[in-house]
Chains A and B, each alone.
Chain A
Amino acid sequence: MSALLEVVGLRKRYKDIVAVDGLGFAVHEGETYGLLGPNGAGKTTAISMIVGVLDADAGEIRVAGRAPDLATRAMVGYVPQQLALYPDLTARQNLRFFSGMYGMRRAQARTRIAEVLELIGLSDRADHAVATYSGGMSRRLNIGVGLLHRPRLLVMDEPTAGVDPQSRTSILDSVQRLTGEGLAVLYTTHYMEEAERLCDRVGIVDHGRMLTEGTPSELGDPDLESTFLRLTGRALRD
């Protein structure tokens, strides 16, 4: 297994807060890696640097062995923590716009958009404005945009926050199926059981540092939640 994503000594400081402090880890092809940490641990900051929307102060990021550039951006799908969609446009229009931003051709995009709509269960509402969607439906579309261009690495920042357990399972199962085809997933979540079930490996972070890393079973003594509490002194959710 080769590392699709390698992060070494990543650092970011906002004025007087060091949000990410020498973070390092790797995600391999076909692997699902969960980044767990309490509120303010630096997860979103780290992910922003990994997908290239925020400049790092120090450290190294390698995607498929290369320093980030336009070509590596095309290999990465990004699902931000906050919904990033045009609410006044329909799901299809949003997907068409982002497919264009990822350089997909129209004809190719059309079939892929239909596939993604099916995958996130929005085919029948595809031509309604996103503003009319429920919270969970918008979340699903938010994820769909990240999958559109068949990325090799999917980076999701709390993709399922606010989604009902049933949809959560169905979305993540679909993502799981894609990992079978080699998709690597890096994601953060506040749902411990979800991480236990889905992740091949998890990393527990706080104050911008990696506290421990391992498979859920390695860290799950007696369970992941207890390990988390012991290491961070905090519950996963405030």
Chain B
Amino acid sequence: MKVLLIAQVGLLRLARDRTNVFFVLLAPFLLILVLGQLFGGQDGLRLGVVAAQGQLADRLVTALGSGTRVTVTRAADEAALRTAVERGEVHAGLVLPASYDASLAAGRTAAVRYLIRRTDLRSHDVGTWVRSVVRQESARVLGVSPTATVTVSTAGRAVFPEGLSAFAISAPPLLLLFTFLTSLTAALGLVETRALGVSRRVHASPTRVGTVIAGEALGRVAIALAQGALIMAGSALLFGVDWGDPFGAVATLLAFSLVGAGAAMLLGASFKTPGPPISLAMILGLGLSALGGGTVPLESFDPTLRTIAHLTPHAWGYDAFAQLVRHDAGFVDVLPQLGVLTGLALVLFALGTWRLRRALT
């Protein structure tokens, strides 16, 4: 099968280049690890606190920060605190009611609320500390047994729901980044095949141009899919990332890989020498990812920027994975994103095929 052979040689050439071993096999996992640490942190424990001004409230906050392991930061209000908890900026949050001082002075019970992401193991450490400080403090204030109540509360639809591991936040944008970047840099192989005169030689053989184009297209898809699947499977095995509904996840991976492969076809067919396309691959690979939620979560973009971001395939992939990974969505829920990605892939493949046919004949 000539189509398979052409695709296979593309992959073989990629595998023989040792720098690819680093960029394709190791770099994605290093970054998932590093960014996961940034989101999830193994350094000191951080507790966010919302408390009104008041002598007793201040004393509790001071007591909470008196240990060496826990750093206390104040949040403006409960909504800000909840966001900080959800994003893993703090490991847990404590909300003192506005009436804290008044209630205690009047001899009434004051309920403080403790916010955590349930599976964030660090929040249990913080919880142990918070409980002991609150217990001591109530004993001090009232001279009686503790009356503080600890409740867990997550209201509304959380952007980063409880139970989400830090790696589950860092892995999807990195999958999109590397799948696209690897596709584009690998497109250099297609430019070289023509620059080396191998294409001309194949053209002299009893091989149709359509067969060459199909082989190259298959090679592009295989490269994109291999990179994406490696990250998906690797992050699940190494970091326990749960990609959600398998149908939805694989469909999103496939649709996005097709976009990367189509872009690679177009890039590879559009240049005769390797210099410009490699620069363009880096600029597009990194730039589109950054714009599409790869460096700063899309949720923190303002509406205008979010609209602009959705000019990138990455933003659509990001949305689809956000639905699947964070909100238990299924295949049907991500159909709109899959539709956009598939449509874009078709356009890119059509353009790439047209340019490649012109370049080969």
Binding site for B on A (CB under 8 A): 51-53, 70-71, 73-74, 76, 78, 80, 82-89, 93, 97-98, 100-103, 129, 145
Contact of B196 among A52, A70, A84, A100 (CB under 8 A): A84
Contact of A98 among B12, B16, B193, B201 (CB under 8 A): B201
Q: How far is the CA of A187 from the CA of B51 in the complex (A)?
A: 91
Contact of A88 among B2, B16, B203 (CB under 8 A): B16
Report whether A86 and B2 are in contact in the complex, using a CB–CB cutoff of 8 Å.
no
* Given A82-B197, A85-B198, A86-B196; A52-B204 close (CB under 8 Å): yes
Report whether B13 and A84 are in contact in the complex, using a CB–CB cutoff of 8 Å.
no
* Cβ-closest chain A residue relative to B192: A86
Question: What 9 A-B pairs come out closest when comparing CB atoms?
Answer: A84-B197, A100-B5, A101-B205, A84-B201, A78-B204, A73-B206, A70-B206, A51-B204, A74-B206
Report whether A53 and B208 are in contact in the complex, using a CB–CB cutoff of 8 Å.
no
Q: How far is the CB of B330 from chain A (nearest CB, A)?
A: 42
Instruction: Judge if B9 is at the interface, Cβ distance under 8 Å.
Output: yes
Report whether B204 and A53 are in contact in the complex, using a CB–CB cutoff of 8 Å.
yes
* Given A93-B12, A97-B9, A100-B5; A85-B204 close (CB under 8 Å): no
Binding site for A on B (CB under 8 A): 2, 5, 9, 12-13, 16-17, 193, 196-198, 200-208
Report whether B204 and A86 are in contact in the complex, using a CB–CB cutoff of 8 Å.
no
Contacts of B13 in A (CB 8 A): 86, 88-89
Q: How far is the CA of A124 from the CA of B273 in the complex (A)?
A: 33
Contact of A80 among B17, B201, B208 (CB under 8 A): B201
22 A-B contact pairs sorted by A residue (CB < 8 Å): A52-B204, A70-B206, A71-B206, A73-B204, A76-B204, A80-B197, A83-B196, A83-B197, A84-B197, A85-B196, A86-B9, A86-B13, A86-B193, A88-B16, A89-B9, A89-B16, A93-B12, A98-B202, A100-B5, A101-B5, A101-B205, A102-B206
Contacts of A98 in B (CB 8 A): 201-202, 205
Q: Which of B193, B200, B203, B204 has the most CB of A within 10 A?
A: B204
* Cβ-closest chain B residue relative to A87: B196
Report whether B9 and A145 are in contact in the complex, using a CB–CB cutoff of 8 Å.
no
Main secondary structure of the interface of B (DSSP, over half): helix
Report whether B197 and A100 are in contact in the complex, using a CB–CB cutoff of 8 Å.
no
Q: Which of B9, B197, B205, B207 has the most CB of A within 10 A?
A: B205
Q: How far is the CA of A97 from the CA of B8 in the complex (A)?
A: 9
Q: How far is the CB of A63 from chain B (nearest CB, A)?
A: 12
Report whether A145 and B201 are in contact in the complex, using a CB–CB cutoff of 8 Å.
yes
Q: How far is the CA of A102 from the CA of B204 in the complex (A)?
A: 10
Q: How far is the CB of B77 from chain A (nearest CB, A)?
A: 60
Report whether A88 and B17 are in contact in the complex, using a CB–CB cutoff of 8 Å.
yes
* Given A80-B197, A100-B2; A89-B12 close (CB under 8 Å): yes
Contacts of B203 in A (CB 8 A): 52-53
Contacts of B207 in A (CB 8 A): 101
Q: How far is the CA of A18 from the CA of B273 in the complex (A)?
A: 27
Q: How far is the CA of A97 from the CA of B196 in the complex (A)?
A: 15
Contacts of B201 in A (CB 8 A): 78, 80, 84, 98, 145
* Cβ-closest chain B residue relative to A55: B361
* Cβ-closest chain B residue relative to A84: B197
Contact of A84 among B9, B198, B208 (CB under 8 A): B198
Contacts of A93 in B (CB 8 A): 9, 12
Q: How far is the CA of A152 from the CA of B16 in the complex (A)?
A: 35
Q: How far is the CB of A210 from chain B (nearest CB, A)?
A: 23
Contacts of A71 in B (CB 8 A): 206
Q: How far is the CA of A73 from the CA of B196 in the complex (A)?
A: 21
* Given A52-B204, A73-B205; A97-B5 close (CB under 8 Å): yes
